[in-house]
């Protein structure tokens, strides 16, 4: 199982504060901080659904050992380092010439270079393999459908500041099928 953690958050969000306020029809600055946090939360939600980072950010994948092939999801993905805990317990960094990164099919497939094999990791060590990489679109290159989904989610968060809304004493959860329709074509499903 691969665990992905954000190491360097995105410098910009897919939509900026001005776009969000225009969508929300907010003209004052009283709730700017709240709206900015809603933009980030909406982006994170969409990222969980599609399975990859939307805007360029630094990420770390951790594994409990080297599989035959390491598969990472993402767009604009660049591997910056492959590190592991060696049998002696010391952290090692693989030379880029010892592995190949294939990004031709979307995402990345990392395999040992021709004639090479993955090194031994410390036996029983969890998270013994760490891949550092960047992934994501430039903020102005995020597909418009995903930006629209983020705006709709921000709108829902802004309008419905509670987890559920009551209608005549009955609890009703808020769902937006348009958000699902906008996000669905961008999901990455691994075989």
Q: How many structural domains comprise the chain?
A: 2
Q: Are residues 39 and 70 in the same domain?
A: no
Strand arrangement, sheet containing 70-72 = 70-72, 108-112, 99-102
Please give the residue range of the domain that contains residue 165.
3-54+139-186
Instruction: Please report, for the domain that includes residue 49, its CATH number.
Output: 1.10.3230.30
Contact 77, 156 (CB under 8 A): no
**Within-domain flag for 78:** yes
142-171 average pLDDT score: 79
Domain membership of residue 191 (yes or no) is no
User: In the structure encoding, which two tokens stand for residue 56, read together?
Assistant: 């360029």
Residue 73 resides in a domain: yes
Give yes or no for residue 70 having a pLDDT over 90: yes
For residue range 173-183, list pLDDT tens digits in order: 456 667 777 77
Q: How confident is the model at residue 148 (pLDDT cuts 50, 70, 90)?
A: very high
pLDDT digits (tens, 9 = 90+) for 110-136: 999 999 999 999 988 899 999 999 999
Same domain, 151 and 127: no
pTM, two decimal places: 0.82
């Amino acid at each position: 199982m691969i665990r992905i953690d954000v190491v360097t958050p995105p410098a910009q969000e897919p939509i900026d504060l001005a776009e969000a306020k225009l969508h929300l029809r907010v003209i004052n600055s009283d709730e700017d901080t709240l709206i900015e946090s809603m933009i980030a939360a909406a982006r994170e939600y969409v990222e969980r659904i599609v399975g990859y980072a939307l805007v360029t950010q630094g990420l770390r994948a951790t594994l409990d050992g080297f599989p035959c092939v390491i598969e990472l999801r993402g767009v604009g993905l660049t591997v910056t380092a492959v590190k592991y805990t060696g049998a002696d317990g010391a952290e090692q960094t693989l030379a880029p010439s010892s592995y190949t990164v294939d990004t031709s099919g979307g995402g990345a497939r990392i395999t040992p270079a021709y004639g090479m094999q993955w090194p031994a990791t410390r036996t029983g060590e969890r998270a013994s393999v760490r891949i550092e990489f960047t992934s994501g679109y430039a903020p102005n290159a995020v597909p418009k459908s995903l930006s629209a989904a983020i705006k709709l989610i921000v709108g829902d968060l802004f309008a419905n500041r509670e987890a559920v809304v009551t209608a005549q004493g009955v609890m009703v959860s808020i769902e937006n099928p348009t958000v699902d329709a906008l996000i669905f074509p961008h999901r990455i499903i691994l075989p």
